[in-house]
Amino acid sequence: MATDPRDQVFVTAPALAALLQGPRPPVVLCVRNPRTAEMAGASRIPGAVDVDLPTELASPGGGTRGSRPLPDIGALQEAARRWGIRQGDAVVVHDHDRCLVAGRGWWVLRWAGIADVRLLDGGFAAWQGAGLPVATTPGAPAPGDVVLSPGHLGVLDADGAAALAREGLLLDSRVRPNYIGATVAPGQARRGHIPGSVSAPAIDNLTEAGTFAEAETLRHLYAALGADGSRPVGVSCGAGISAAHAVAVLASIGVEASMYPGSWSAWIADPDRPVVVGGLPG
């Protein structure tokens, strides 16, 4: 594996094309949120296997578990074997949305013990933009034999997220209007943010072209928010999707961060949890 943190987390389209010609090519996964029948014939990286985020990278949600709880490890292992992942395989994850949902695939597979998982920088658009081959048939790999186990990345529950917001740094990767909050109609979910959390929208990690910003840009961005290695860091979002993207970005600049999988959807399900509505701190 690469030694540069960025190269351990991201791979460019040309580099992926070269790896796919190698003696043991990586398994390529395309995360869909959700996967639909219409996507079966869509253009894709040759051999890429579609992954359904709601059913394969999450378990049924509700209440204080949040809307996208982590998957059962046994079910995830079965899915990973369907995707063709063998023990020791490298995996490249991408999507059609600037890796904002593919990050969930990266995080879940790393959490489950797969050491070499990378995000395709720029997603499918970067592959297509590089003039690389595309296919219209989903990959149909032979079953894999990977063995998964949970707990290889840091996980926060609601109490842990609250404590980190007080004593460390809890980043909120949702778009700023959701962080700031607003008056909502009766029956709608509360908006706002966890007390003490700091707004850090995942979209800020990307260039206008949809690729990840340069490492130095990301270091400055997160250092300004307090993620400079001096204190523990966690990330929350709406349901553990853009937060996973942010954890990957932080890893690419050498900052280890835990994730609150339940995130806002779990936090507001408990009426006793405080909510802050208002502008950005500072």
The predicted pLDDT at position 282 comes to 41
CATH number reported for the structural domain that contains residue 178 in this entry: 3.40.250.10
Domain extent for 49: 5-129
Q: Are residue 122 and residue 65 in the same domain, yes or no?
A: yes
Q: Are residue 163 and residue 103 in the same domain, yes or no?
A: no
199 lies in some domain: yes
The predicted pLDDT at position 34 comes to 76
pTM score of the predicted model:
0.95
Q: Are residue 171 and residue 84 in the same domain, yes or no?
A: no
Q: Are residue 121 and residue 197 in the same domain, yes or no?
A: no
Amino acid occupying residue 102: A
Give the residue numbers annotated as catalytic, written as ranges.
237
Per-residue pLDDT of the chain (282 residues; tens, 9 = 90+): 678 999 999 999 999 999 999 999 999 999 998 766 566 668 899 999 999 999 999 999 999 999 999 999 999 999 999 999 999 999 999 999 899 999 999 999 999 999 999 999 999 999 999 999 999 988 999 999 999 999 999 999 999 999 999 999 999 999 999 999 976 666 668 889 999 999 999 999 999 999 999 999 999 999 999 999 899 999 999 999 999 999 999 999 999 999 999 999 999 999 999 999 987 654
The predicted pLDDT at position 189 comes to 80
Helix (H, G, I), strand (E, B) or coil at 32: strand
- 69, 59 in Cβ contact below 8 A? yes
159 token code pair: 């109490």
Q: Are residue 24 and residue 123 in the same domain, yes or no?
A: yes
Instruction: State the Rg of the chain over Cα.
Output: 18
35 token code pair: 């996967």
Separation of alpha carbons 93 and 101, rounded Å: 10
The predicted pLDDT at position 204 comes to 98
Closest CA to 254 of 37, 5, 2: 5
104 lies in some domain: yes
Q: Are residue 42 and residue 103 in the same domain, yes or no?
A: yes
The predicted pLDDT at position 250 comes to 99
Amino acid occupying residue 3: T
Separation of alpha carbons 138 and 281, rounded Å: 46
Q: Are residue 124 and residue 215 in the same domain, yes or no?
A: no
Q: Are residue 168 and residue 125 in the same domain, yes or no?
A: no
The predicted pLDDT at position 141 comes to 97
How buried is 275 (Cβ within 10 angstroms: 0-12 exposed, 13-18 middle, 19+ buried)?
middle
- The DSSP secondary-structure symbol of 206 reads B
74 lies in some domain: yes
Q: Are residue 121 and residue 220 in the same domain, yes or no?
A: no
32 token code pair: 């869909």
Domain boundary pick from 83, 112, 129: 129
Q: Are residue 10 and residue 125 in the same domain, yes or no?
A: yes
Domain tally, the chain: 2
Long-range contacts (CB closer than 8 Å, 24 or more residues apart) made by 127-130: 127/13, 127/16, 127/17, 127/45, 127/94, 128/43, 129/13, 130/13, 130/14, 130/17
